Structures are given as structure tokens and as C-alpha cells.
Structure 1
Amino acid sequence: MTESEQLLTLVGTKAHNTRPWGWTSLPEPVDTATLARAEATLGFRLPALLAELYVRIGDGGFGPEYGLLPLLDGPLAGEPAAVVQYLANRESGRKDPDWPWPAGVLPISHWGCALYACVDCHSPQATVLLFEPNAGEAEHAWFVDAPSLTDWLRAWLDGKGWYEEKSEEPEMTPWADFRIRTALGQVS
């Protein structure tokens, strides 16, 4: 079994045995047609591991804190799906150039208070970013939560994420690519 397969098995087991706040059951996985529709709407492909989470485990409803957002038309009332949130954030950034939303940065989990965990779908390792808009300025609102989606999932599985009650709040590294990515992303 590959490392990726092992990780998916561990995530699947935990997903079937725990419910994040607001979820009463684990939603069914999305089918490949829904994944293709989501990627067509976004204009980019999801990282392989993220796509596998949605296709093999569930349409959101598992993961740290409030869990992963539904992908496209998910079942959680009151919380927009990841694709819908991404499009809204991109549009909002076009209307307010002081708060641009980087191209290819998909919100995958809502932390409350307008904070989101996001996957940089254009980075080879699928870096997980924390968007913290309460920082005051857009360029100071982005932090590297985990160097990869794999690392982010392992922290959740091991109970070692910064969001755990017993964890100390870490010193988060600012996301260095924000200016570059928003300057390039404004054309699309």
C-alpha cells in the first residue's frame, strides 16, 4: 500500500468515526462527474489528494474543527460549498482591489470568524494556507498552515493541529507568495 493510500485509509476511518461541529452524518462521496464539473467551474484541477478525499471519503463533513466544506453543491445548510466560496471570494476581490483573492487558492474549511483553511491548488505540494482577514490588510492575512495537504491531514489525525485545545498557538509563517499570486491572478 502506498503512503497516499495509507493516508486515505486513516482519514477515511477517522471520517467515519467522528463528526465535526454541525455535521450529523458523513455525506456520500462525490462522483467523478461532479468532480469534473467542479474543476471546470473553477478553471483548474484539484490536487490529486484533495480530489481523492471528495471522491472516496465524502463530500465534506470530516477533518479539523468544522470539517471540509462540501465541494460543489454540498449538504451543509448555511455554509457555501468550496467552489461557490472560491468564486465569491474572487469576485469580491475584483470589486475591492485592496482584498484580492489569489487565483487557485480554494477554501476547504471554515474556522469561524471569517477564517478559512485553503489549499493552494497551483502549488505542487498543495500547500494549506490560513486566511485570517481580521489581520487588517490583505497581505498580512495569509499564513502557511501546513507545507502540504498531506501534512495538514496528518496533524489532524495525530491531534497535533494548532486548533487543538491542548496545542499552543503557533507562530504562523506569512505566505510569501501572496503579492505575486494576486498580481498574476487578477488577469483571470
Structure 2
Amino acid sequence: MTEMEQLLKRVMDRARNTRPWGWTSLPQPVDAATVARAEAALGFRLPPLLADLYLCIGDGGFGPEYGLLPLLDSSPAGEPAAVPQYLARRESARKDPDWPWPEGVLPISHWGCAMYACVDCHSPQATVLLFEPNADAVEQAWYVDAPSLPDWLRAWVDGTGWYEETNEELEMAPWADLHIRTATARTP
């Protein structure tokens, strides 16, 4: 079994045994056609591990805090899905250039208070970012939550994420690529 297969199994085991806030059951996984529709709507491919989470475990409903967002359709609890959330944020950024939303940065999990964990689908390692819009400026709103999606998932499974009570002192680094990734969104 490869390292990624082992991680997927660990995530699957935890997903079967814990429900994030607001979820009463683990949704069924999506099919390959749903992933293809999501990628067509987004205009880019999902990182393979992210696609596998949706294809093998469930259409959201597992993970830290409010859990992974559904891919295309809102959850029964009314949580918006990842793809429509991304498209709405990109459209909103066109109207408000002071708060650009980087191309390829897909919201995957809601933390509450309008904060989201997002995967940078254009980075080779699928960096997970924290979007914290309660800041005074966009430069203070983006942080590196985990260097990669596998690291983010391991932190959840192992109980070592910044959101755990025992780890509240952990600090995240600002996302250094923010200005590079949003420069084209700000040019006239």
C-alpha cells in the first residue's frame, strides 16, 4: 500500500467514526462524472488526493470543524458547495479588486466566522491555505495552513492542527505568493 493509500484509509476510518458540526451522516462519494463536471466548471483539475477524497470517502461531511464542503451541491444543512463558493468568490473579486480571490484556490472547508480552508490547486503540493477575511486588508487574510493537502489531512487525523485546543499557540505564516497570484486580478 502506498503512502497516499495509507493516508486515504486513515482519513476514511476517521470519517466513518466522527461527524463534524452540522452533519448527521457521511454522504455518499461522488462519481467520476461529478468530478469531471466540477473541473469543467472550475476550469482546472482538482489535485488527485482531493478528487480521491470525494470519490472514495464522501461528498463532504468529514474533516475538521464544519468538515469538507460538498463538491457541487449544497449540503442538507445548507453549507454551500466548494465549486459554487469558488465561482462566487472569483466573481466578487472582479467587483472588488481590493479583495481579489486567487485563481485556482478552492475553498474546501468552512471554519466559521467566514473563514475557509482552501486548496491551492495550482501548486504542485496542493498547499492548504487559511482565508481569514476578518482582517483589515487582504494581505492579512491569507495564511499557509499546511504545506500540502496530505499534511493538512494528517494534522486532522492525528489531532495536531492549529484548531485543536492543545495547539492554540501555533502560528501560521502569511501566504507569500498572494501578491504574485493576485497581480493579474488587480491590473486593469
3-state SS of 2:36 partner: helix
* Aligned-CA RMSD value: 1.2
Partner of 1:103: 103
One-letter amino acid of the structure 1 residue matched with residue 93 of structure 2: G
Partner of 1:117: 117
Structure 1 residues 74 and 58, CA gap change in structure 2 (3 angstroms): farther
Q: CA deviation at 1:67?
A: 0.4
Structure 1 residues 72 and 111, CA gap change in structure 2 (3 angstroms): same
How far apart in 1 are the matches of 2:14 and 2:96? 40
TM-score (norm 1): 0.96
Partner of 1:46: 46
What percent of counterpart residues are identical?
A: 78
3-state SS of 1:174 partner: coil
Is the CA contact (8 Å cut-off) linking 1:15 and 1:57 kept in structure 2? yes
Structure 2 unmatched ranges of 5 or more: none
How far apart in 1 are the matches of 2:74 and 2:12? 18
TM-score (norm 2): 0.96
Is the CA contact (8 Å cut-off) linking 1:130 and 1:145 kept in structure 2? yes
Q: CA deviation at 1:186?
A: 6.1
3-state SS of 2:166 partner: coil
Is the CA contact (8 Å cut-off) linking 2:94 and 2:185 kept in structure 1? no
3-state SS of 2:165 partner: coil
3-state SS of 1:134 partner: coil
Is the aligned partner of 1:91 residue 2:101? no
The farther-off stretch of 86-95 and 178-187 is 178-187
1:62-73 matches, cutoff 5 A: 62-73=62-73
Is the CA contact (8 Å cut-off) linking 1:59 and 1:74 kept in structure 2? no
One-letter amino acid of the structure 1 residue matched with residue 160 of structure 2: K
Is the aligned partner of 1:144 residue 2:144? yes
How far apart in 2 are the matches of 1:44 and 1:183? 19
How far apart in 2 are the matches of 1:123 and 1:185? 18
One-letter amino acid of the structure 1 residue matched with residue 75 of structure 2: P
3-state SS of 1:110 partner: strand
Partner of 1:35: 35
User: Runs of 4+ in structure 1 displaced over 3 angstroms?
Assistant: 184-187
One-letter amino acid of the structure 1 residue matched with residue 109 of structure 2: S
3-state SS of 1:118 partner: strand
How far apart in 1 are the matches of 2:171 and 2:24? 33
| Count of equivalent residues | 187
How far apart in 2 are the matches of 1:103 and 1:186? 12
